[in-house]
């Protein structure tokens, strides 16, 4: 476009009279048009980055009652897009909205193998939110050769006191427990239908995985990265897999976010810093990267990006973690 404008401009200098001025005006218009046409390309090149371009694909693993996308709304609100804009290959897993860590883990393992077959990569970086953390740990436990790293966000690795409360309120074998379990299963199935994910659901399976007793049993089978102290760091590198974690500790972060209020009520159950559903100490796995002014849904940039305006963006945390993995050659 610009070279064409220059040729027209050169030709115009050989014309006479009023044609000379008209040709020059045309050349100028073409030059401006060419610059405007190239401007979006320049902006795109500038916006696209490589800061999150990890060596291995990133697989995001949702938590309990999670999904990939429903009605155009992502569970990981704005996160996959920004990671991709910064050079990462990102895949969003679709596992059961509610089920045990082992069942969800087997579903994830199959999808990890699909990602490896599709990309030609030898490993993946798993990032799990909430119950997605133990789900990812199952895969790294049974197939460490397929996993470069596991990062968990707000995952109750040592159990959630909210799950303990539910279990105590709904005694084993009681009618109330059966009714609530049926309702949760129905809601989970609805999530599956709306998101196009037809997988078996089990609210009781999820509850028994996320309470303190169930988490202890799971940790005995899959101890990699789990701290041996109450609120310390675990081993970062185990069986060739690196482990990281972070969490939120502020249940009420935005008065316009309706989800903040039930999370704030649930937060009193913990008796220690928490995000509403998981305590910060229970969220520790491998190297703990920090606690942030976020609640359990803020950790995946929900609802719809509403958050504490004075805290770091949840999206930024994921991009920063991808950059860290890149620096480690992962």
Say which CATH number the domain at 221 has.
3.40.50.1820
Q: Which residues form the domain of 179?
A: 58-327
How confident is the model over 297-329, as pLDDT tens digits?
999 999 999 999 999 999 999 999 999 999 999
Same domain, 27 and 112: no
Q: Which residues are bridge partners to 152 per DSSP?
A: 128, 245
Residue 6 has pLDDT above 50, yes or no: no
Residue 35 pLDDT grade (very low, low, confident, very high; cuts 50, 70, 90): very low
Same domain, 22 and 120: no
**Residues identified as active-site:** 130, 275, 296
Taking residues 216-222, report their average pLDDT. Answer: 98
Same domain, 218 and 123: yes
Given a contact cutoff of 8 angstroms between Cβ atoms, the answer to whether 132 and 111 are in contact is no
In a domain, 159, yes or no: yes
Same domain, 31 and 66: no
Same domain, 153 and 258: yes
Residue 90's nearest CA partner among 118, 112, 55, 57 is 57
Same domain, 38 and 173: no
pLDDT score for 48:
63
Distance CA 85, CA 68 (A): 19
In a domain, 121, yes or no: yes
Residue 193 has pLDDT above 90, yes or no: yes
The better pLDDT of the pair 278, 33 is held by: 278
pTM of the model: 0.85
How confident is the model over 107-118, as pLDDT tens digits?
999 999 999 999
Taking residues 58-77, report their average pLDDT. Answer: 96
Question: In this prediction, what percent of the chain has a pLDDT beyond 70?
Answer: 85
Same domain, 81 and 11: no
Given a contact cutoff of 8 angstroms between Cβ atoms, the answer to whether 8 and 27 are in contact is yes
DSSP string covering 183-251, please?
HHHHHHHHHHHHHT------HHHHHHHHSHHHHHHHHHH--TT--SSSSS---SEETTEEEEEEEE--S
In a domain, 75, yes or no: yes
Same domain, 201 and 286: yes
Same domain, 174 and 68: yes
Same domain, 166 and 220: yes
Distance CA 264, CA 260 (A): 6
In a domain, 52, yes or no: no
Q: Average pLDDT of the chain?
A: 88
How confident is the model over 244-275, as pLDDT tens digits?
999 999 999 999 999 999 999 999 999 999 99
Q: How far is CA 142 from CA 62, 91, 127, 205, 221, in A?
A: 19, 21, 17, 20, 10
In a domain, 193, yes or no: yes
Q: How far is CA 208 from CA 109, 133, 172, 190, 277, in A?
A: 21, 15, 11, 21, 15
Same domain, 120 and 173: yes
User: Tokens for 147?
Assistant: 């996993």
The better pLDDT of the pair 45, 308 is held by: 308
The strand ranges marked E within the chain are: 58-61, 69-70, 73-74, 90-92, 124-129, 147-153, 237-238, 241-248, 287-292
In a domain, 53, yes or no: no
Phi, psi of 13 (to 5 degrees): -70, -15
In a domain, 38, yes or no: yes
In a domain, 222, yes or no: yes
H helices, E strands: number in the chain: 11, 9
Taking residues 164-190, report their average pLDDT. Answer: 93
How confident is the model over 225-241, as pLDDT tens digits?
999 999 999 999 999 99
Residue 93 has pLDDT above 60, yes or no: yes
Parallel, antiparallel or unpaired: strands 58-61 and 90-92: parallel
Q: How far is CA 81 from CA 69, 86, 88, 132, 249, in A?
A: 13, 9, 9, 19, 26
Q: How many domains does the chain have?
A: 2
Same domain, 62 and 42: no
**Per-residue DSSP letter, 279:** B
- The three-class DSSP label of residue 73 is strand
């Amino acid at each position: 476009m610009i070279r064409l404008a220059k040729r027209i401009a050169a030709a115009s200098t050989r014309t006479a009279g009023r044609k000379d001025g008209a040709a020059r005006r045309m050349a100028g218009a073409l030059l401006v048009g060419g610059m405007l046409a190239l401007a979006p390309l320049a902006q795109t090149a500038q916006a696209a980055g490589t800061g999150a371009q990890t060596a291995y694909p990133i697989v995001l693993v949702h938590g309990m009652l999670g999904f990939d996308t429903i009605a155009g709304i992502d569970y990981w609100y704005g996160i996959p897009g920004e990671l991709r804009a910064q050079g990462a290959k990102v895949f969003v897993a679709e596992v059961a909205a509610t089920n045990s860590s082992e069942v969800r883990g087997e579903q994830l393992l199959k999808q990890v193998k699909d990602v490896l077959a599709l990309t030609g990569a030898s490993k993946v970086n798993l990032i799990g939110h909430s119950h997605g953390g133990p789900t990812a740990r199952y895969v790294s436990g049974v197939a460490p050769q397929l996993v470069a790293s596991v990062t968990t966000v707000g995952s109750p690795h040592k159990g959630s006191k909210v799950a303990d409360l539910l279990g105590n309120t709904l005694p084993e074998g009681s009618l109330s427990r059966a009714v609530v379990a049926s309702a949760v299963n129905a809601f989970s199935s609805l999530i599956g239908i709306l998101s196009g994910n037809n997988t078996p659901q089990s609210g009781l399976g999820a509850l028994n995985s996320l309470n303190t007793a169930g988490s202890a049993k799971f940790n005995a089978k899959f101890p990699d990265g789990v701290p041996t102290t109450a609120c310390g760091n675990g081993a970062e590198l185990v069986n060739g897999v690196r482990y990281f974690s972070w969490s939120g500790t502020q249940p009420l972060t935005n008065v316009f976010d309706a989800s903040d209020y039930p999370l704030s009520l649930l937060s009193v159950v913990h008796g220690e810093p928490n995000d509403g559903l998981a305590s910060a100490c229970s969220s520790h796995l491998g190297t703990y990267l920090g606690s942030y002014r976020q609640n359990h849904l803020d950790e995946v940039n929900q609802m719809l990006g509403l958050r504490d305006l004075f805290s770091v963006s949840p999206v930024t945390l994921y991009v920063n973690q991808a950059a860290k993995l890149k620096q480690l050659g992962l």
